[in-house]
Structure 1
Amino acid sequence: MIVDKKNDATGVLLRNGHIVLPDKTYVGDLRIRDGVIAETGQLEPEEGERTLDCSGCYVLPGGIETHTHLQLESMGTVTADDFETGTRAALYGGTTTVLDFATQFHGESMAEGLARWHKKAENNCYIDYGFHMALTEWNADLKSEMASIVEGGISSFKIYMAYKNNMMLQEDEIYDALSETKRLGATVGFHCENGLLIDVLVKEAKARGNTSPWYHQWTRPPVFEEEAITRLETVNALLHADHYVVHLSTADGLDAILKARSSGIDVIAETCPQYLLLDNTRYGTEMSEDFEAAKYIMSPPLRDKSHQEPLWDGLACGDIQFVGTDHCS
C-alpha cells in the first residue's frame, strides 16, 4: 500500500468543521491521535498539535466504494483506471476503501483470478481495498473451490444474468451457486438483465444498421431488469440465501425487489450515481454518431428521467441500501 511516511506523533486537530455524526451535524472540532479519532466537540489545541482549519468543510467518515472494475481486461482492452490512478481519485473524493471485482475468466480457477488481482493492487493503492469474486462461468470445479476462497477472506461473489456466451449463468446454475454460498455463509451480487433477449435485440439492431449510441438503451429496456430480478427471486425463494442486486437502474426493478420482500425474501439493493443523476438524453438521437454520446454507453444503460425520483425515494427510505459507482472506464 502507498503510504505517507510522515508520522504526527502529537496528533492533528481539525477545527471548525461541520462534524457529521450518525444522529446530527454540528460545527466543531475533531482530534486524531495515533491514526484514530480521539474525541470530538469544542476543543482547544494541545501543545505541539498540528491544526487544520476546516471552516466550511464537512468532516465525515471516509466513503466505502462497493463496486469498481479497476484494470479489468474486457472486450480486447483494459479499463483506463488501474489501482494507482483509481484509488488516488477515490481518495481525492473522500473515499478511503474500495471493493473491486477480482474476476475469474473462462477456463481458470478463482484462485488464479484472485492472485492476478492481488498482483495488480499490491503496492499500488493509496487507500484500503478488498475484493469481491466475479464468476464468468459455473462448473463443479468452481463450486468445490468456493470454500477455500471464503476461507481466504472473500465473502462476496458476483454472478451475471447478462452477456450471453461470455459471463451469463442460467437459473439452474444460479440455484447451485446460491446453495453453496448459503452453506458457506457468503453472499452473491447479481447483475440482473435478461441476457437472452438482449442478445436477440442486439442482433436485430445490428442487422438493421442501428448502431448509434442511441440504440443501446433500446436493446436493454427497463422490463429486462424487472424480469431478471423477478426470475432471480423465484430461484432464491427456494433457498433464502444471502444476495443482493447490483446497479439497480429502474423503478420497475425496485418494484420487483419490494414485491420479493413482501413475500418474505430478504434482498439487498445497490444503485449508482449515474442512475440517480443522468438520463437517456445523453444518448442524443438515432442519428447521433459522435463520441460524446458513446461516452455514456454502460450496462444497464441510462434510463428515462422518470426513474430517478423512485430511486432517490428508495435510497432515502432505506429500500435501497447503498450506492456504488460501478466504475469501469
Structure 2
Amino acid sequence: MSQFDLVIRNARCATASDIFMADIGIIDGRIHTLGQSIGPGRKEIDADGRWVLPGGVDSHVHVDQRQTGGGLTADTFTTGSIAAACGGTTTMIPFATQDRGQSLRWAIEEYHDRARGKTAIDYNFHLIIADPTAEALNEELPDIIAGGCTSLKFFTVYDDVMLRDRELLDAMAAARREGAMVMIHCENAAGVAWVTDRLLERGLHAPKYHPAARPAIMEQEAIYRMTAFAEVTGVPLMVVHVSSGDSIDIIAAARRRGVNVYAETCTQYIALDSTHLDRPGLEGAKALCSPPPRWRGNEEAIWQGIEDGFFDVFSSDHSPYRFDSTGKFPHGSDVPFSRMSSGVPGVETRSPILFSEGVIKGRIDINRFVALNSTNAAKIYGLYPRKGTIAVGSDADLCIWDDQYETVIDNDRLHHSVDYTPYQGMQIKGWPAVTLLRGELIAEYHDFRGKPGDGEFLAADKRPRSAAQTPTKTELAKLGVPDLV
C-alpha cells in the first residue's frame, strides 16, 4: 500500500545552506519525509542523483498590469505563469498598481480578480502606491497588509506613479508602522528628464542613447536619498534592479550605518550591456529597459556582487512588451527612445541563465544559486518556509535539474506572449527537467504539463514591529532622538 502521494528517489538536494542525498516523500502537496529508502509512493520519480532544488521564486514580475500610459503588457496571469513554470519558477510576485485618484482597496481587489483561477503557479502581490493620501495610508493600507500583501513599491521616477520626497517619507513611515517591506525604483526623475531633453535637442533619438539618458549616477543619487529616508523612518528597504557597480558601494555604506537595506539585481545586468541597444534600426529597443544595461564591463561588477553575497535577490523584472504598436511602440515607430516602452521579458529564462552562467561556469556554488533563485525572496517577502526551501512541512515545489542539458535560447520555444527575447541565441547549459508545484507535475523541460488555475494566492507574513529596523546605529540614535514612527 502506498505511503506517499509521490516519492522522488535518489535526490541530490540543495538548500541555501546544505547539500544532502535523500528520498523525498510528499503527501497532500507538502514534503512529509526526507530520508533514505523511505516507503513507496503512489507515483515515483527517480532523480538518479541529479540536483533537486526548491522551485524558483521570481519576486519582480509585471503581468496583466494596467498601464496609465504607453504600451500594454502582453502577458496575462495565465501566459506569464506558464512561462515561469517552464523556466523552473513555481512562485511569482507581480504588481498591483494604484492609479492616482483610486483607492488602494480597489486596486488590490482588481488584481485579485485578474489573477484568480487563471495562474499556473502560486503568487502574491506587491502593491504600487501612486497616491499616498492619509486615508490610503491610515485606513486602507492596514487591511491590505493584514490580508497578506505585505510589500509595497514606490517610484522616484515616471510622472504617472512617482512620489515626491515628503510623500515617500510619509509612505515609508506607514509601511514601517504596519510591518511592510518597501521596494524602491531608484532613479532621479529631474536628472533623467534634463539629460533626455539635451540628447533629444541634439537629434540623438535612437535606442542606443537610452543608457546615456539614464546615467548610473542618477540611480546612485536616488539610492543614497532612499537609504537616507529608510534610515530616518526605520523601514526595511529593497533597492530593486541595481544596475551599476558603483551603486553597490552606496548600499554597502548604508548597511554599515545600520540601515536595513536589501539589494536586487536582474538577468539583464549580467547578460546584456549597452551595446545590445546599438543595433540597426529599432532592434536595439529589444534591450531597452530602465535602469538600462550599462557599459560593457559593468556586468563583471554585478557578478562580483553576486559572488560576494552582496545581492540578496535575483529577479527577472519581466516586462512583456510586444515589438509592435501595442507594446514597445505605442506612439509609433518613428519616435525617440524616450517614447518607447521600457522593459524586457525574461521570466522563463531567469533561472536557467543564472544556473548556466553562475553554477555551470563556477562563479557561484549551488547553495548561493538556491539562495538567489528561491530562498532569499521567500524569506524577505514573508513566504518562507512554505516556499523557497526543501524541508519537512514546506510545499513540494521542486525542480529536478538536468545540468548536462545544452540548448540555445530561442523565442520560438518560450511560452510568454512576446515576439522576441533579448537573450536570443544565448548558449545555456542546464535546465529544469521536471518542475513540481505542490507535488504535481507542471513542466518537463520546455513543455508545460500543468493547467491554469492550479496556482493559489499566498498570504505573506508581515514583519512584526520588533523585527523592523530600529535606528540603533544611526545619527538619530546617537543624538538621543526616539523612534520617529
Q: TM-score scaled by structure 1?
A: 0.89
C-alpha deviation, 1:62, in angstroms: 1.1
Structure 2 Cα separation of the partners of residues 189 and 206 of structure 1: 31
Asked if 1 retains the 8 angstrom alpha-carbon contact of 2:24 and 2:34, the reply is yes
Where do 1:84-233 residues align within 5 Å?
84-144=78-138, 145-163=140-158, 165-233=159-227
Aligned with 1:30 (options 24, 27, 43): 24
Asked which structure has the greater RCO (Cα within 8 Å, sep 6+), the reply is: 2
Asked if 2 retains the 8 angstrom alpha-carbon contact of 1:137 and 1:168, the reply is no
Unaligned 5+ runs, structure 2: 321-485
Structure 2 Cα separation of the partners of residues 158 and 256 of structure 1: 20
Unaligned 5+ runs, structure 1: 1-7
C-alpha distance 271-55 of structure 1, shift in aligned 2 (>3 A): same
C-alpha distance 176-24 of structure 1, shift in aligned 2 (>3 A): closer
Asked if 1 retains the 8 angstrom alpha-carbon contact of 2:155 and 2:184, the reply is yes
Code of the residue aligned with 1:39 in structure 2: it is T
Structure 2 Cα separation of the partners of residues 41 and 245 of structure 1: 39
Asked if 1 retains the 8 angstrom alpha-carbon contact of 2:3 and 2:39, the reply is no
C-alpha deviation, 1:298, in angstroms: 0.6
Asked if 1 retains the 8 angstrom alpha-carbon contact of 2:94 and 2:126, the reply is yes
Structure 2 Cα separation of the partners of residues 138 and 245 of structure 1: 20
3-state SS, counterpart of residue 40 of structure 1? strand
Code of the residue aligned with 1:297 in structure 2: it is L
Structure 2 Cα separation of the partners of residues 113 and 34 of structure 1: 33
Structure 2 Cα separation of the partners of residues 189 and 166 of structure 1: 17
C-alpha distance 257-95 of structure 1, shift in aligned 2 (>3 A): same
- Counterpart of 1:268? 262
- Counterpart of 2:246? 252
Structure 2 Cα separation of the partners of residues 284 and 56 of structure 1: 44
Asked if 2 retains the 8 angstrom alpha-carbon contact of 1:191 and 1:247, the reply is yes
Q: Is structure 2 residue 298 aligned with structure 1 residue 307? A: yes
Which moved further from structure 2: 253-262 or 233-242? Answer: 233-242
Asked if 2 retains the 8 angstrom alpha-carbon contact of 1:136 and 1:168, the reply is yes
C-alpha distance 80-218 of structure 1, shift in aligned 2 (>3 A): same
C-alpha deviation, 1:126, in angstroms: 1.0
3-state SS, counterpart of residue 125 of structure 2? strand
Q: C-alpha root-mean-square deviation of aligned residues, in Å?
A: 2.0
Q: Is structure 2 residue 78 aligned with structure 1 residue 67? A: no
Structure 1 Cα separation of the partners of residues 22 and 88 of structure 2: 19
C-alpha deviation, 1:140, in angstroms: 2.6
3-state SS, counterpart of residue 218 of structure 1? helix
Which moved further from structure 2: 293-302 or 147-156? Answer: 147-156
Code of the residue aligned with 1:80 in structure 2: it is A
Structure 2 Cα separation of the partners of residues 21 and 181 of structure 1: 31
Structure 2 Cα separation of the partners of residues 112 and 44 of structure 1: 49
Structure 2 Cα separation of the partners of residues 196 and 9 of structure 1: 63
C-alpha deviation, 1:300, in angstroms: 0.6
Asked if 1 retains the 8 angstrom alpha-carbon contact of 2:25 and 2:38, the reply is no
Asked if 1 retains the 8 angstrom alpha-carbon contact of 2:151 and 2:180, the reply is yes
Code of the residue aligned with 1:149 in structure 2: it is I
Which moved further from structure 2: 271-280 or 11-20? Answer: 11-20
Asked if 1 retains the 8 angstrom alpha-carbon contact of 2:66 and 2:97, the reply is no
Structure 2 Cα separation of the partners of residues 328 and 232 of structure 1: 24
The one-character-per-residue Cα deviations of 1:240-293 (angstroms, maximum 9, x if unpaired) are 2222111111111111101111122121111111112221111126xx323x31
